[in-house]
Structures are given as structure tokens and as C-alpha cells.
């Protein structure tokens, strides 16, 4: 199991290095969003790679501009993992989640993702205006 974790960790670091070095806004052979190609609409993940690139370069505002749901998910996930680690280090019992709570959580997460996917395709959605290009 540790070998699998190490392999996926190495792959993740290599992918982050590629995204750090190559600006996805300029192409560089990174694949486009297939959902947008087929439908013409933005999917909930559109802008995620550009968001990671901006975040790796310390541009949090730009990262949020590209995909606010991704940044909010990273922040929430980091806080949740930190809280669980703190509970574990303090000797608290592991959290138990009932099936009903798990289903409710899944519905909330899926609903947020789908809702964001719909909202970001309205013309009044502010992050879909002309893309911001910074002076470098």
C-alpha cells in the first residue's frame, strides 16, 4: 500500500511541476475541456488547471477568478483534514458517520458542484467576463 501512495505522490508532484512551469492559459499541449468542446458550456471544473497554476505562483485572487469552487474546496478540505488530525492527536475517538449523514453529505456536495456548473453559465456570472491577463 505504501508503494501505491509513493507512486501516486510522485505522479502528483510531477504533474504539479508541469502545471507550475507551463501556463495553461497559453495552451502548451494541455488537453481542453471535452465537456465545453461538445456542449459549448463551462463545466464545474473549467479553469481548474489555470487555478492551480495561479495558486502555485501565489496568485490566490487569480486562482479564485478561474474557479472559485475549486479554491473553496481546497480550503474546506484542508480545514477538515487539519481538524481531523487535531482530533486524532488529542486522542479523540474516530468520527462515525451514519449512512443517512453520508448520503446527506453526498447530496450537498453534488448539489453544490452541479449548482455551480449551472450558475457559471449565466451571462451575469462575473467570472465569465473577458479573461484577466496580468502583466508579468
Q: What is the pLDDT of residues 7-31, one digit of tens each?
A: 999 999 998 998 898 888 776 667 7
Once rounded to an integer, what is the mean pLDDT over residues 91-95? 84
Q: Is 43 exposed, middle or buried (0-12, 13-18, 19+ CB in 10 A)?
A: middle
Contact 19, 52 (CB under 8 A): yes
pLDDT above 90 for 46: no
Mean pLDDT over each residue of the chain, to the nearest integer: 85
The pLDDT tens digits for 48-67 are 888 999 999 999 988 988 89
- Using alpha carbons only, give the angle 114, 120, 123 rounded to the nearest 5 degrees: 140
Q: Which among 119, 112, 109 is positioned nearest to 42, based on CA atoms?
A: 119
User: Given this model, what pLDDT does residue 134 score?
Assistant: 46
Amino acid at each position: 500500500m505504501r508503494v501505491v501512495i509513493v507512486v501516486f505522490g510522485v505522479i502528483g508532484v510531477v504533474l504539479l511541476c508541469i502545471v507550475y512551469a507551463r501556463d495553461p492559459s497559453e495552451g502548451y499541449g494541455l488537453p481542453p475541456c471535452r465537456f465545453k468542446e461538445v456542449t459549448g458550456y463551462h463545466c464545474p471544473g473549467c479553469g481548474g488547471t489555470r487555478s492551480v497554476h495561479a495558486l502555485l505562483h501565489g496568485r490566490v485572487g487569480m486562482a479564485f477568478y478561474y474557479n472559485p469552487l475549486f479554491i473553496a474546496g481546497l480550503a474546506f478540505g484542508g480545514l477538515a483534514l487539519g481538524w481531523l488530525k487535531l482530533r486524532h492527536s488529542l486522542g479523540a475517538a474516530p468520527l462515525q458517520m451514519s449512512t443517512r449523514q453520508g448520503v446527506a453529505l453526498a447530496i450537498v456536495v453534488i448539489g453544490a458542484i452541479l449548482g455551480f456548473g449551472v450558475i457559471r453559465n449565466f451571462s451575469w456570472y462575473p467570472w465569465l467576463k473577458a479573461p484577466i491577463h496580468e502583466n508579468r
